[in-house]
Amino acid sequence: MRGTHKRGVIDESYVSDWRRFDGGSAPDGQADLTLAHLTDLHGQLGPSNQVYYNNAHSRPDIEFDGDRTVRPVGGLATHVAKLSALQSGGDSDLLTLVSGDTFHGTAETAYTNGEVMLDPLNDHVEPDVYVPGNWDFGHEGAADGSALDLFDAVDAPTLACNLRDDDGELIYDGTICFDRAGITVGVVGMTNVYIDQMAPAFHEGKYQFDKSPKLLDDAARALRDQGAEFVVAVTEISLPWMVQAAKDFESIDLMLSAHTHEYTHDPIVVEQTGTVVVESGMGEALGRIDVRFDPGGAAFRHVLYCFVEDHEYTPDPDPETRETIERVRAPFFRDDTEHERGDVTLDRPLDTVVGETERPLFRQSFLESAWNTLFNDALREYFGTDLAVAHGFRYGQAIPAGEITLGDLYTFFPMTAPVAVGDAWGQQLQTHMERYLFNNFTPHVYGQEDGRVRSYSSNVECVLDPSAKRGRRLVEMRVDGDPIEAGETYRVATFRRPGDPDRDLGGCGFPFRNVRVEDGTIPVDVVEAYLDAHSPVEYDVMGLVKTVGGGAQNTPADGPYPYIQPGVDYAAGTEYIQTSMIPRRFDHPVPHRTEEQ
């Protein structure tokens, strides 16, 4: 259970000024409701490290020496300590809303099928709502894994207005109402709409994922009809998607986004609909939104906590939560540890040192990241291939310069899928890259299915034009300095996604030739062998992916745009795309508290 604290104002100097939901100014006052948003934990229970970018428009309240910094951060016990303070030390009612990708992301989650997260979540975080994320379904790829078993074990309602079984029946309710501060607060939850683009074993023959953003609007209107006076959407889709939905619909007051791991230090206010959008980073962050209901209309203020070590607002870890975390993680740090998943056995403690890096390693970038390049170089060397290719993974905390442990590797590759190799025509590689670039850069925001740009080994260079039309975004692709030839055969290293067709490797979506899958050898094994041969490694962004035309930033430190995931009008560079693909209808007015209330 959360502890108790003396009541009083919490972090007053760090929360923003009060504003109306249409962006107008609002007078100071006392909050009626506090919403705590915890998202994209990716199994991060203990302390770790994170990278932060120095962007003039949006950055955390920490010191920077250059365009980025990697800092030690607190674990889940730190979040619980802050939630305790907000619950019993503030003057407003608290709702704790958790967006998914909780049950994935570490060795502990991989070898327990996510169950290691349940005690810390239920006994200490005590969420009021849980909304599943795409990687929460990843355990469906294991013989004894079940996403629904995890969701059903959470001591909170699971909301997913778009999740159906294979017969088309909704599995969970999409909405719930809470009475807080004399107001009926409606919450609608929507899980990721593109899980059916992931490995087939995660969903095929099991689940369907409705995609229309109108589902949010329909659910919000239904909540209004039930008497909800303030409506919150909690999703796990992406920040650009949610901002577009905020422009298209007037029925939702506050949208809590997740999935893209963005840090909205300054909430996005869509003035024309009176909707505010917030995304609360990932495993070390906690979003706080205070809401006040008064005669002039609802008002909000916000702070995005980044629990950097020694920051004034970072509390000491909650001791009971820390004890629980130590208990559930302990089996993974014993000398005689042994955990199995499929053909793979973990038989060494996670604090085993496996290598060293001269520079910090992290993935919080869009076009290219050092970790993904290192991974592909390890694959290429292991198989002795022409190149290696992998998804543009984005989860995982940062690793500072120094030692790399086995546990660190699993935070970047928490998978037991086998590595694999096969032959591909140059044309297949180019076509597959164009397909993913469509997902990355389409101006139709609801079609932005993918995350970061596809990653390759360091001998592959790409030039992209984000503003070009579909099928023309890949300007150039070179291997070992030579343009890729459509009719040439290239030996490609990658891995096998669970449930993919036998000849489809690495999610590339085409049939390879001369395929060899190394069952029992997983990405962590390959990276460990590479580190053993090359430590200390020295990787950074190398300029392997360049953009022309409208261009695109790799990180928020590169320019004015304060986020990583595209969602901008590339002509202007700083504004979200203004498309509105769904006709807007008249909305329910939001009731305001009168003086008598």
130 with 209, same domain? yes
Domain contains 69 = yes
Task: Yes or no: say if 523 and 417 are a contact pair by the CB < 8 Å rule.
Answer: yes
How many structural domains is the chain composed of? 2
Report whether pLDDT(133) > 60: yes
Task: Work out the average pLDDT over 265-275.
Answer: 92
Instruction: Report the pLDDT value the prediction gives residue 90, as an integer from 0 to 100.
Output: 64
**Which token pair is 167?**
């017969």
SS3 158: strand
Report whether pLDDT(359) > 70: yes
Instruction: Report the pLDDT value the prediction gives residue 469, as an integer from 0 to 100.
Output: 83
318 with 354, same domain? no
Q: Average model confidence (pLDDT) for the chain?
A: 90
433 with 376, same domain? yes
Task: Yes or no: say if 143 and 113 are a contact pair by the CB < 8 Å rule.
Answer: no
Report whether pLDDT(156) > 50: yes
Domain contains 465 = yes
Domain contains 9 = no
Question: Looking at residue 104, which CATH number applies to its domain?
Answer: 3.60.21.10
Helix 214-225, helix 239-248: angle, nearest 10: 60
Banded pLDDT at 9 (limits 50, 70, 90): low
**DSSP state, 537?**
B
245 with 139, same domain? yes
At 353, give phi and psi (nearest 5°).
Answer: -80, 125
Do you know the residue count of the chain?
A: 597
Summarize pLDDT for 472-510 with one digit per residue, the tens.
999 999 999 999 999 999 999 999 999 899 999 999 999
Task: Yes or no: say if 97 and 187 are a contact pair by the CB < 8 Å rule.
Answer: yes
Helix then strand count (H, E) for the chain reads 11, 29
Summarize pLDDT for 244-267 with one digit per residue, the tens.
899 889 999 999 999 999 999 999
Domain contains 282 = yes
Summarize pLDDT for 170-211 with one digit per residue, the tens.
999 999 999 998 999 999 999 999 998 888 888 999 999 999
Among residues 270, 287, 322, the one where a domain terminates is: 322
Q: Write out the residue range of the structural domain in which residue 397 sits.
A: 348-552
312 with 457, same domain? no
Report whether pLDDT(56) > 90: no
What are the residues facing 178 on neighbouring strands? 185
Q: Sign of dihedral through CA atoms 233, 117, 167, 207?
A: positive
Could you give the CA distance from residue 443 to residue 422 in angstroms, rounded to a whole number?
Answer: 33
Summarize pLDDT for 315-347 with one digit per residue, the tens.
999 999 999 999 999 999 999 999 999 889 999
Instruction: Report the pLDDT value the prediction gives residue 209, as an integer from 0 to 100.
Output: 96
Domain contains 593 = no
71 with 186, same domain? yes
SS3 439: helix
Task: Yes or no: say if 139 and 114 are a contact pair by the CB < 8 Å rule.
Answer: yes
**DSSP state, 98?**
E
Summarize pLDDT for 112-124 with one digit per residue, the tens.
999 999 999 999 9
Helix 523-534, helix 370-383: angle, nearest 10: 90
Domain contains 508 = yes
Summarize pLDDT for 310-321 with one digit per residue, the tens.
999 999 999 999
Tell me how far the alpha carbon of residue 590 is from its chain's centroid. 31
Task: Work out the average pLDDT over 513-526.
Answer: 97
209 with 60, same domain? yes
* DSSP string computed for 8-68: S--STTTSPPPEETTS-B------SEEEEEEE--TT--S-EEEEEE--SSS--SS--SSSE
Task: Work out the average pLDDT over 6-23.
Answer: 82
Instruction: Report the pLDDT value the prediction gives residue 2, as an integer from 0 to 100.
Output: 52
Identify which of 23, 579, 15 has the alpha carbon closest to the alpha carbon of residue 269: 23
Task: Yes or no: say if 357 and 391 are a contact pair by the CB < 8 Å rule.
Answer: no
Report whether pLDDT(126) > 60: yes
296 with 357, same domain? no
Question: Looking at residue 384, which CATH number applies to its domain?
Answer: 3.90.780.10
**Which token pair is 310?**
């020694």
Neighbour-count burial of 579, counting CB atoms closer than 10 A to its CB (0-12 exposed, 13-18 middle, 19+ buried)? middle
**Which token pair is 355?**
């290598």
Half-sphere exposure of 59 (CA within 13 A, CB side): 20
352 with 317, same domain? no
118 with 196, same domain? yes
Task: Yes or no: say if 330 and 380 are a contact pair by the CB < 8 Å rule.
Answer: no
Could you give the CA distance from residue 7 to residue 5 in angstroms, rounded to a whole number?
Answer: 6
The angle at the Cα of 279, spanning 102 to 71, to the nearest 5 degrees, equals 75
Could you give the CA distance from residue 131 to residue 104 in angstroms, rounded to a whole number?
Answer: 14
Could you give the CA distance from residue 246 to residue 240 in angstroms, rounded to a whole number?
Answer: 10
CB proximity list for 374: less than 8 A, separation 6 or greater: 361, 527, 530, 537, 539
Domain contains 592 = no
Could you give the CA distance from residue 62 to residue 50 in angstroms, rounded to a whole number?
Answer: 12
Task: Yes or no: say if 178 and 93 are a contact pair by the CB < 8 Å rule.
Answer: no
54 with 164, same domain? yes
Helix 319-329, helix 76-89: angle, nearest 10: 150
CB atoms within 10 A of CB 4: 11
Could you give the CA distance from residue 95 to residue 181 in angstroms, rounded to a whole number?
Answer: 11
409 with 548, same domain? yes
Q: To 10 degrees, the CA torsion angle through 66, 72, 73, 78?
A: -140
Task: Work out the average pLDDT over 511-515.
Answer: 98
